[in-house]
Structure 1
Amino acid sequence: MRYLIAFILLIASCQAKTIVVDSGGSGDATSLASAITMASSGDTILIKPGNYSGAIVDRSLIINGSGQAQLDGSLIIIAPGCKITNLATKSIGRDPAIVLQSSDNLLVRCRADGASIGIRATGDDNTVLDCNVDAPRGTCMELLGKRCKVLNSTFLGNVGIKLNGTIQNTIAGCEILAAQGVLMDLSIKNRIEKNSFYGSGFGVVLSRSSSNQILENNISGTYISGIDVVDSKENNITGNFISGGKLGISLRGSQGNNVTENVCQKGERAGIYGDGAVYNYLSYNELSENGNGILLSGSIENGLKSNSASRNIYGISLRGSKGNVLRDNVMFANSYNLRVDEGASSSAHLAASSHDFYVQDIDESNLVDGRPVCYLINEADLVAPSVCGFLGIISCKNITASNLRISNSSAGILAVNSTDWKIVDSGISLSENGIYLKDCSAWTVKGCRAANCQIGYAASSSSDGTFKDDLASNCSEEGFRADDSLNLSLENCSAKSCAKGIYLMRSRLCNVLNCRADQNQEAGIQLTSSDRCSLIGNIASLNDQGIALAGSNECVLTNNRAEANQRDGISLVQLLNCELQDNDAIGNAQGIFVQSSKKLLIKGNNMSENSRNGLYMSGAVGCNVTDNRLQSNRIAGANLVDCTANFLYHNLFLDNAAQDAVDNNQNQWDAGPNDGGNYWSDHKVVGNPGDVPMQIPTKGVDRYPFQDPGGWL
């Protein structure tokens, strides 16, 4: 068709004439419409400067606007093979400024201003070259025809160019300044190349489209996504430079796309993001200064090869994803180089077990800060190399690793669904979790150091494991944390200068033995909803709270020392049937704090030299307080507020500054005339026990106080 038209125009050119349009009347016509009526195919219409009404072009013409001519109203081209140059068109109302209904037309150096649409091209094989299109509140160009070319033009509006249900168009060398740059729906084999985009919505969107080429574009601004690929497949996205916004390239529900040699930087969330992405190939991309270099969420069996991720918060993140293949990727200078986890709960339907989200094909060709990633799956009886920059132990048995030095990882050592493994004498720093284990059993972590992590050591839903001789320091959350775990032991461990030192949540039958927790911002040792645990021989000093238990029943605290903590040495809240024996709570704000608890045994403890009370009980019922030493506290030795049926006897109240005890309710302060009550340094009696009652403000009374300290022995 195009060759026939060219041939006809060639013949016609031998007889072609030029018609001049001049609104002042000095030309052949005063309007474009009348000039078109006078013209034949192949003629040229020259429009002098001035304002003219729009027109319908129904024959193949050359129309030259001489640079300063403007049409007020739509220019509608229904004849093929027209050439329109140097003409400005401004639409009236919501009509497009220029409509290309026919094929093989050429617009060169034109300007189209449309309130709703600048140019609508429904015909095939049209070319728009060196044009300026404005649609501040609408769409600059609707491209519905096939094999059209849009070259070296500028678009300014809400939407740059829309393509719908079309094929084999080219948009190249354009400057697109629009909230939405190029929006493509149900389109195939189009080429978007070497354009410049700046805006705030989406740069290029491929929706339900395939086999398109998105090549060497420059995309910047505050886009939600620079290139957004939605429910699309087998597109080629190569050599683009994307800077700023939330996402560089996003693959949502898309498959089989090739994403290669792109540079994505400064994306708030990710350089490349996959959500429900399947079988895509990501290679040789450079990703820097993003939230994540590459983030795959709920994505399956994608290939990542030879990508470079540097100076991001996360280098490569695989979240709620499975079966992805990583080869020859390089991660360096990221806050956290590699992250593999379950992600959001919305991915749960993708896997029969949460363990599946950790099954990734990651070999040692991948490097983190120059060291290989060691990612073991279904292995047994192995010794991991000490050069690992990241160690994953997934569904393994009897794995041993020692002398590792790992930093800047989401989990420096990641163990999932594994048994009988051991990590010894290793150091992890600057990671989200130094060592993270999930659904593991019969493991040992010994002699390790975790520094400047968010959490030093984290155990989730794990059992029968031991942390021994381990140190956590300067962690922004917990030094040691266990959630929903069973029968864990922490032995000889130390947590220093963390937000919380040692924290057990919903973990039962655990033992914390001979550990230290010093200078932590909150509690040194804290148990929440963790029943039947034992804390023995621990030291907690210079924390906000020394040792704190809440909602943790039938626990035993023995031979612990809580000293110089800002609030409570030992805090017991909403407990039942716990034992607190032979502990020291010295030099804190309050020695031992008990609230809303029942049937506690508080025996043989030293609660002395605290800046407030040695023992403060509020709303406690049925507790047994005996054989304790309460000395030199600044307010009171024991202060009972709204407590009932507690039994306090054989305690030493010595030299407390304001008063030895206060009780505003019904509690018992002695064990009768034979066993007696307590020793009070400010109440002198004769006899062990004596018979001169000690009145305790405001309602308490010890009927049988002792003459001598320990007179009951």
Structure 2
Amino acid sequence: ENAIGRRKAGVYLNSVDHCNISNNNASNNYVGIWLDSSSNNMITNNSMKFNSYGIYLFSSCTNTLTNNTANLNEIYGIFLSASTNNNLTNNNLTNNKRRSLYVSGKCNNSIDLTNIGGYDGKPIRYEHDITGITIKNTDAYSEIEFCNVNTSTIDNVTIYNGDLKSDGIILEYSNNNTITNSNSSSNFRGILLMFSNNNTISNNTLNSNYFGLCVWDSSNNCQLINNTVNSNNNLGISLWDSSNNTLTNNTVNSNNYCGIYLYASSNNLIYNNYFNNTNNAFDDDNNIWNITKQKGTNIMGGPYLGGNYWSDYTGEDTDGDGLGDTPYNIAGGSNKDYLPLVPTQVLPVHNLNTHENFSTIQGAIYDNNTTDGHIIEVDPGTYHENVKVNKSLTIRSASGNPADTIIQAANPDDHVFEVTADYVNISRFTVEGANGSRKAGIYINNAEYCNVSSNNASGNYYGIVCSGSNNILLSNIAVNNSEDGIYVQFETNTTLKNNITISNNDSGIEICHWSYNNTLIGNIALNNTKGIFMWGSHYAIFRNNTMSGNDYNFGIGSYHGEISEYIHDIDTSNTVDGKPIYYLVEEKDVLLDASTNAGYVGLISCDNITVRDLTLTKNEHGILLVNTTGSTLQDNTLLNNWQGIAVWHSSDNNVITNNTIRDSGCGGGINIWESKNNLIYHNNMIGGCQFAIDNRNDNSWDNGPIEGGNYWSIHTCTGNPSNGSQPYYIDADSIDHYPFQDQSGWLGMKRLNIVQAQTDKLIYNLSESVTISCILQNETGANITVDTVNVEIIKPDTSIERIALIEGLIGNYNGTFINTSLVGTYNVTIYVNKTGYINDTAELSFAVKVINEFIPIFEEVCKGGEDPSIIIENNGVIHVSHYEGWHSVSGRHSYIKYSKWDGLSWSCENIEDWYEKGGGWTDIDIDSNGLPYIAYFKGFDWGAAKAAWYDGSWNREEVESGYQNCWMGNHIAMALDSNDNAHIAYE
């Protein structure tokens, strides 16, 4: 250390190759480690602090710089000058004063995202020798550097390094690129161009840097358009040794040393810019500071284009054309702006009630003659204001076109419009530039009955914020805001209708914090980080809202863990990426399958819902369960959701099986919160930030050693399933004891199935033997021999006996139970086992009665009893048909009825109403499947009919019709032949 003389270093290599420089502390020098014309060296695990340069490579190639800490240096962390093919990985370059990383002269170095810089340790994005890349919609980097990168785009990027440490966006030797809609503030240099030509720098915010926008070192033919360059410590815009550039529509305010500074730069065109600085301009060469006078709205709202607006211009505009009569002198030489802009004589803001005119919207509002109910109309132009609305006014653009009436925040750390009065209407403006933390284009601050419509809120921190009640947000556009397009909190009875939110860095629309009874209709959320999200809100209505192309399209959540925060009316007219949202509240026994084409599923206080065969992508949750029980989620694919499946707030006794959950965010592939007795097995958990969350320990993440658990792509185990020695640990003592080695490893598992489990009869006499039999098949349906078939019989006195079944033909097993000494019902369970197979069970029952002697038994089978017919199957099942008879109370005939004894109890049901269709004289038979056929007289239709049971209902058919004095169907009789064809005879 202490090698502080110029060109002195802690470690210095000159023309030396193949050295290893590691584990050194090279601090408090001019250069920490310096390689001069040296190649193939390793520089690892060194610390360089409080130097001018941390590491400096000059004309040095093919070196490796890894795991070094070069921070708190006065100029650069690492400086590569005329050096190529060097490899930089995992270096910490934070908190250096000017730049974390500087590559000069040669571009071909490998610098990946493991290198971090700036003040908060974000990755450095370095691209070189490439064409046609895009970096868009991100704040992930501490510095972006293009070196020999051409025809590429940086769009909607935020770089903030605090304390003026490190540059923001750098182009070196890079041509034909576009930097737009980005915010590079509180850096050493906001945007820096060096040796870079034909680039377009537009619509950027470059505030509070040391230098704002720098076009240096022969950067020519560039377009600098509509940038905001305010409050920089030194120069706002600077051109050094650069020519033929065009600067127009830029706002350059409150820069400490100079607004715009041109040094050794010529033939640049600077016009229609807004300069308000202590020292507005310096130019020591020959440049052009105005164009020829021509019609067009200038940056001051005047009718002509010419030069620039200068805050210190003292000339007059005697003809009122908005152009000064005398030139503005540019410091540093003899250059002049011959057509400086001045405010026009016709004031652009009008109170239509008092007929007074004003230069600003704020002036119109604060005027003593302006009172509640007045209309303020604003002419086209760009207004640099932060407007406070404390009266009940209508404020609107005169043209009705937001594109030509722009309200731009004079102070980016304040709202463009802040409304604190009730009954305010704001319409048809573009509001922009309120990009300070938590500032909005339009902010409704605890006001009610306001209407905000047809505005374009762009380039703010929030687009529109609403906090109050009974407000209306109608047909607004919110684009490219740093956080939410529209943010609603503490709102009741507010309507959001036909708003469009595009490319906002957080939500397109977010509703949160105790908001009640709000309605969203016909809103569109496109290409935001989140589409429409609602948190901690109650009883909202959603209709015809469209969410598409967002990272996460839709989400509902709770701040306070209350079920009421999920009770909303959201129907299938709402879509995510073109698919309907299914949001069920207090429903049961519903199937949601592929036929629904659902894009999001929410189940709130539901029971027995089946969700299967769906593909659910890019939402806060693929499937959300809240207070939902007894439901099954199976065979679904859930991709790129923040949480794949959320099981929250007393969602108990659900089954989650055979789903594929891939690339979920940090909310977890499956997230279980305050819910119990859920069974989760045979799911593929692949990729993503976090696989599973469970804050309890009473859910089952496997189905035992045979069925196994789930597949976890980050977990290594052996076997499908594994044997329990390689569990996957979740949290809260939740464990998948038997994870699978392979994805969908359970699909290859062998399975046993019991078919035709039965007894030879349903009813037996005392001490009569019972034959129990079944057929066993494998997963393909082929009969199979197993290891054991055991039967457990629970007798009427609850005692248990067991027998084994013996195989006859392959897969056919039977056995005999002889201890039927008790009258009553015997419940039977068959257990089968075969090594290497998933086993099966079956349940059945039979009854024992005293039937060996005739003892008359009388019991009421069913109401009524005229014209009965009876048939008994071999297994003791009894079928009866009859006519209910005449109702003496109602004075009318009644039903044809069917009764059945299944061995345990009687059932009775109506077939047809006599008064309508039915009648008397019944006869019954059964087909080869044991299903009943009944013939009967049709009553007031005076004809013959039959009824047959199939497919779960009675199917009735007229045999022959009659009329009142010619009855067809008296004394009817029926029999079925061997082909189950009915033959009917009647009078």
How does the TM-score come out when normalised to structure 2? 0.36
How does the TM-score come out when normalised to structure 1? 0.49
| Structure number with higher relative contact order (C-alpha < 8 Å, ≥ 6 residues apart) | 1
Larger Rg: 2
